[in-house]
Chain A
Amino acid sequence: DTAVSQTPKYLVTQMGNDKSIKCEQNLGHDTMYWYKQDSKKFLKIMFSYNNKELIINETVPNRFSPKSPDKAHLNLHINSLELGDSAVYFCASSPRGQGALNTIYFGEGSWLTVV
């Protein structure tokens, strides 16, 4: 009955590979996010989708491509992985409407290590 679930939790891969992280929320929320936590634990938003539509796209390399097949899912695909992509990636969701008043709920994170 996990609210925001993401897979895999741990991923170790070689430079140059392509990988995906999947995210699903069962909260009925309209808005979903991807955040990145770097090695210094700093958190920064990458993308946000509302009802499958991209609404926030921060300065992220084109190698990162989010895909939202429906409003309950937001996957993150990363091409040509680089060492600097090693981080923890958090999926999150929140209800729509009066956006700033709503709480954002996070998943457990996906620990990506590029070797």
Chain B
Amino acid sequence: AQSVAQPEDQVNVAEGNPLTVKCTYSVSGNPYLFWYVQYPNRGLQFLLKYITGDNLVKGSYGFEAEFNKSQTSFHLKKPSALVSDSALYFCAVRLTDSWGKLQFGAGTQVVVTP
């Protein structure tokens, strides 16, 4: 079965410090990986995705993610966190059938303190 895991329920970081949100995956075949962010009482916003090509993927709001095939990981990173980055972050794998439903991780709450 294809799945993603987010090992941390919450990540706390001070504003200005680097932010990393971890994600590992288990898929058969090529992984199609996504990151979404959910701000309080809002919908899910797409941040970035890895389909193929460069292992470092750049996305919205200064976020990037590094695909590591040997470690089956797709960690989300931001060099300098902002208080406004406080939100719930979801890693997801898109299943490889043609209709490609998303399988989400449990989510990681990011808290950025001033």
Contacts and interface: CB of A to CB of B under 8 A. Distances in A.
Interface residues of B, number: 26
A109 B40 CA distance: 11
Contacts of A101: 32, 51
9 contacts: A41-B38, A42-B104, A43-B44, A43-B104, A50-B99, A56-B101, A100-B100, A103-B46, A105-B46
Contacts of B88: 41
Contacts of A109: 41-43
A48 B99 CA distance: 8
Nearest to A104: B102
A106 B101 contact: no
Interface of A: 4, 31, 33, 35, 40-45, 48, 50, 55-56, 90, 92, 94, 99-109, 111
Contacts, number: 67
Contacts of B100: 94, 99-100, 102, 104
A90 B105 CA distance: 16
Interface of B: 32, 34, 36, 38, 41-46, 49, 51, 88, 90, 94-102, 104, 106-107
